């Protein structure tokens, strides 16, 4: 498993447009936790975080889980995502917890649960399939 420093360096280089928005809080074979700093661009009227912001966080979090497992030198693509919006998030930072449930020869399947920081009940849950080679 590669380190969070290696992943941070890789993301800063490859995805400069998201730099500073996401942070790896925890990265082990057991747990991965990603932090998303929420600012005005993520918000919707009514003081909630927009669906596309949660999708973007889920996608980054799952991508980081993949990098941690297969390294940064493969070509990786999102194949599909199913996302359920469960509860209205508060207007505060978000936490994402990705988990891989199948690392196949060409497909990777897993889940991401997203929480308003400090809350126990998820605000959304996403299932991803990525392909790689």
Q: Among 73, 62, 61, which Cα is nearest to 2's?
A: 73
Q: Which residues bind a copy of itself (CB under 8 A)?
A: 14-15, 17, 40-41, 43-45, 51-52, 55-56, 59, 77-88, 101-102, 106-107, 109, 121-122, 125, 127, 129, 131
CB of 37 to a copy of itself, least distance (A): 16
Q: Do residues 43 and 91 make contact, with C-beta atoms less than 8 angstroms apart? A: yes
CB-based burial label for 111 (10 Å; 0-12, 13-18, 19+): middle
CB of 67 to a copy of itself, least distance (A): 14
Q: Do residues 114 and 53 make contact, with C-beta atoms less than 8 angstroms apart? A: no
For a copy of itself, give the closer residue by CB, 33 or 131: 131
CB of 51 to a copy of itself, least distance (A): 4
CB of 25 to a copy of itself, least distance (A): 21
| Block residue for tokens 């912001």 | 53
For a copy of itself, give the closer residue by CB, 25 or 43: 43
In degrees, to the nearest 5, what angle opens at C-alpha 64 toward C-alphas 111 and 88?
50
């Amino acid at each position: 498993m590669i380190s969070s420093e290696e992943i941070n360096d890789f993301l800063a280089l490859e995805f400069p447009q998201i730099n500073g928005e996401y942070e790896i809080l925890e990265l082990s074979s057991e747990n991965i936790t990603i932090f998303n700093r929420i600012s005005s661009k993520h918000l919707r009227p009514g003081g909630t975080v927009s669906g596309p912001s949660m999708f973007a966080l889920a996608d980054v979090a799952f991508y980081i889980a993949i990098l941690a497992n297969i390294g940064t030198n493969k070509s990786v693509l999102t194949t599909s995502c199913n996302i359920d919006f469960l509860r209205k998030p508060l207007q505060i930072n978000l936490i994402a917890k990705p988990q891989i449930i199948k690392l196949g020869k060409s497909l990777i399947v897993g889940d991401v649960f997203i929480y308003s920081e400090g809350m126990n009940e998820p605000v959304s849950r996403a299932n991803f399939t990525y392909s790689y080679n």
